[in-house]
Structures are given as C-alpha cells and as structure tokens.
Amino acid sequence: MTDARTPAIELIGIDKRFGAVHANKDVNLTIGRGSIHGIIGENGAGKSTLMSILFGFYSADKGEIRVKGETVKIRSSSDAIAHGIGMVHQHFMLVDTFTVLENVVLGAEGGSLIGPALAKARESLKHLAEEYEMDVDPDAIVGELPVGLQQRVEILKALFKGAETLILDEPTGVLTPDEADHLFRILGQLRDQGKTVILITHKLREIMAITDRVTVMRRGEVVANFETAKTNVGELAEAMVGRRVLLHVEKRPSQPGEVVLDVRHVTWKDRKGIARVDDVSFTVRKGEIVGIAGVSGNGQSELLDVISGITRPTSGEVFFEGKNIGMMGDPQYLRREGLAHVPEDRQHRGLITSFDAAESAILGWHFEESLGKGFRLDRDAVVQRCTREMADFDVRPGNPLLKSAKFSGGNQQKIILAREIERDPDLLIVGQPTRGVDIGAIEFIHKRLIALRDEGKAILLVSVELDEIRSLSDRIIVMFAGKVMGEREPGTNERELGLLMAGVTAKDAA
C-alpha cells in the first residue's frame, strides 16, 4: 500500500528539445496528493510541453515520471489514463452530435456491445454527478449545451475513466464569472475527495483563489515554487517574467471625438435562419475604446465579421466615417479606407502558419506600393518592414524568416498587432487581444492599445476576459444570444456584468 504522503506525481530531470528549441530543461516538479497545484509561466515557458509529456502526447528526451512513487512509462494518452491521469483541454475534445453519455463512454466502451456499456456508464455518471455536484442531462446533445456544461462533461469523462490526477488547461477562458466560481467549487470538492488537480492558467487571480501551491516556469525551467498562501500576485508576476510587471492598466480619461463607427439595427442570420446577431446598435468615437463583453459564442464573432466586411448583414446598416459599408463585403477596400482588424482566431485568420513571419506580417496589406509593384513583392522590403515591427513590438525571437507556426501564441499575437497598428488605422477592431497570452505580453499589448486610443483612434474591443474589458474600455456593451443586453460604465461591478453576460437583466435578478 502506498503511503498517503507519497506525491501524486513526480517529474524528475525532464528534458525535451524540438530541434534548436530547448522546451524543457532538466525540470523537477512534485505534485502533492489531494492538492490543487498551479503551473504558470510566459508563453513558451514550457508548461504545456511538460503537461503534454505527462499526458503522453510527447515523450521526454530524458528524465523520469513517477506516479504515487512508482516509476512509469507514459508513451501515449492511453498510458496516462491507465495510470490515473486525465486531462481537460482548453479546446474541448467532445463530439458535438453525440449525447453526454456517449461522449463520456467514448473510448471506454469495453466490448463490441455498446448497450451494456452505456447502461453501466449511465449509473456511474449519475453517481459521479451527484458526488461532485455536476448535474448534466446524460441524454442531452453535447453541441446544444452551453460551454460551462460542456466543460463538466469533459471533467466527468476523465473521472469516469478513473482519473486520480486531473490536468486542466486554461479552464475558465470560455466561462462567465459565475460559471468560473462553480468550476472552482467543483475543483475544491475534487481535492476534498482526495483527487489531485494540476491547473495551467495565466490568470494570477485564479491561482491565488484556488491553488494550494504554484510552480513558476520561465524559458523551459522551473524558477520558483510557492505555497500560495505565502505569496502574492506581484511576486508571482515578477517570477514569471523576471522583472516587475504593471498589473493595472494606467490610462487618463478618454477624450471622445466624432463618431467613426455607427452600427444601426444590424441583424445577421446563419444558413438555418437563426439570428446570431440580433438588432444590434452602438457607436464608437475617436479617442475611445468600446468593449464588447460576453461569453464566447454569443454573436460577438459574427458581429466583427459584419463590421470588417467579411460577411454582409441580413438587415441593418454599418457606417464607417459616414459611409454605409454594411453591404460592401470588401475587407480590402475597408483596409484602404483605414479600418484594421485583429481577428479572434490568430492561427486560422490572423496568420498562415506555414508562411514565414515576414509573409504573415503583410497579409491583407500586400497591395501597398512600398512592398512592391503589381504582382511582384519586393522581398527585401517585406523582410525589412517585418524586422522593424518585430523590434518595435518586442517579438521573440526577432527572426522574420522563422515560420509563423514556430512562434509562441503571445508572439504570434504581437506579429498581428504590429501589422495592423503600424498602418495607422482610424478604426481598430480587436478580437480577444490577449487570449492565451502571458502576463508580460498582456502588459505590452494593453499599453499599445491605450497609446493608440490616446492618439485619437477609435477601438472596438471584443474579449471574454471581463477584467480586460473593465480595465481597457471607456464604455462596455454586453451581448448575450446575439442581442445587446445593455451598456455600462467600466466601474460597473463584476456581478452585474456577469449577470448580463448570462442574459439576466437587473429587473430579472430582482
């Protein structure tokens, strides 16, 4: 019998290289049993690689993994699951058209006859849901569930497969504040029941709220271990980036000027005739940041597509600097007129990952005369421009010939922001500017957005990060199910904004 004091997980001397990139450097990490252990670090610090080794996605070049004191070989996720390790990914690994029950049992059917396996799983799922207060209808179609319930399905799926140690990667990025609080209660119950939780997050407030211990990684190495109760956000941030970090956005009051963007009663319906954007109206003026708050999937993405010219509204009008652009459907024309767009999905819309950084840095702006004539690009001019932008935006490594896919998420985001901001736009539309970005890069991005506002530019900001919306915005618009639930000041308390994000007005909550 294993001593209860034996750690749940021990990683000893873990080393991993990807070509010239030394992702993990002799990493030693001990995770106590029945604890919530946070792992934080800048983008590219090696924390995701380390957890991918623990869950069997990668194999370490050298080092040892121990589970409950015993050395184990983990060559695949099946090996990890067999050793009681489960993982809830940032992007859920669920089949939308399957029921909750079918998703939970997937991969653990136990034979050719699915009927008995589903019946047995139904009882197990009921027991787990009751034990951890994670009620979910087992017969509900997963794709029709809100993201908070989908996340519960992922956790139940891991527990059903016998997980004693649960890895969660950025688990609150798609949740409302109330849903995040409920998740924390679930994690606390898991810990109280003797389960071990490893939490990867860049949100230091969450680390302080829920973890027992926290490990800080930087450039592939473990640089600090803290007992959470004996540290603070400032100390953690400094350990992450190796310097003091400004944790609050400093800005002077806005000086809004004339209207740049005027959205009037815009509706957009999908192929099924469902209104994803439903009668939305608002304005954005020079010298202000208007933030759109809401849980992901409530019409913000579709709204940005309409405004940027990617899609045309079903009805309504969009005016940019007095011109009705709603039915144009011509993003390149809008770019020429002074509208820049940082898309929400940087890897599928912001970059071509197989292109080198210099090529990604001119996407959508390749028509500029300074970059060539006709159909021929001046390669030297393209590389020189990217080199300057990389220096101005502190992109690491500052190599314009490196493939876009080789940069960390935060540095990919800086490449896109540099491309759009350096064109001196009159209106900047920014979707999820710091999604998956470490605290050092967040500080940099926020400063650049505020500087742009102070230069008199108009900025429309969409973010699922409520703290970011409140810190950066001069006015906040809250969306739910495609509709505008209301407009609020940045000082509005988190609970009121959270209720609006969940579709609950003050009248409803009374």
Question: Tens-digit pLDDT profile for the chain (510 aa)?
Answer: 456 688 999 999 999 998 877 899 999 999 999 999 999 887 778 888 899 999 999 999 999 999 999 999 999 999 999 999 999 876 678 888 999 888 888 876 555 556 666 787 888 888 888 887 788 888 999 888 877 788 888 888 888 888 899 999 878 766 767 778 888 888 999 999 899 999 988 778 889 999 999 999 988 999 999 999 999 988 888 888 777 766 678 899 999 999 999 999 999 999 889 999 999 999 999 999 999 998 878 899 899 999 999 999 999 999 999 999 888 778 888 988 999 999 988 878 889 989 999 999 999 888 788 888 777 888 999 999 999 999 988 887 889 999 998 887 778 888 999 999 988 999 999 998 887 677 777 888 899 999 999 999 999 999 888 888 999 999 999 999 999 999 999 989 888 898 898 888 755 544
Parallel, antiparallel, or unpaired: how do β-strands 339-342 and 427-431 relate? Answer: parallel
**Residues shown for the chain:** 510
pTM over 0.75: no
Collapsing DSSP to helix, strand or coil, 409 comes out as helix
Residue indicated by tokens 């940041």: 289
**pLDDT value for 436:** 65
Q: Are 69 and 7 in contact (CB under 8 A)?
A: yes
How confident is the model at residue 462, as a pLDDT? 94
Amino acid, res. 234: G
Rounded to 10°, the helix 439-454/233-241 angle is 100
For the chain, what percentages of helix, strand and coil (3-state, to nearest 5) are there?
35, 25, 40
Q: What is the pLDDT of residue 267?
A: 97
Q: Which helix (H) or strand (E) holds 83?
A: none
- CA dist list (Å): 349 to 191, 283, 358: 39, 25, 16
Indicate the residue type of 244.
R
Q: Which domains does the chain have, with CATH numbers?
A: 9-241 (3.40.50.300), 246-338+425-510 (3.40.50.300), 351-421 (no CATH)
Which residues have C-beta within 8 Å of that of residue 190, sequence separation ≥ 6? Answer: 132, 166, 197
Half-sphere exposure of 138 (CA within 13 A, CB side): 19
Q: In whole angstroms, what is the distance from residue 31 CA to residue 37 CA?
A: 7
Q: Which phi and psi angles does 147 have, rounded to 5°? A: -60, -30
Neighbours of 304 (CB within 10 A): 23
Q: Give the pLDDT of residue 355.
A: 94
pLDDT of amino acid 510: 46
Distance CA 257, CA 32 (A): 56
Report the alpha-carbon distance of residue 41 to residue 33 in Å, rounded. Answer: 22
Q: Which pLDDT score is estimated for 247?
A: 62
pLDDT tens-digit map of 35-70: 999 998 877 788 888 999 999 999 999 999 999 999
DSSP character at residue 406: G
Model pLDDT, residue 188: 92
Would you list the DSSP string of 350-394? I--TTSBHHHHTTTTTTT-GGGEETTEE-HHHHHHHHHHHHHHTT
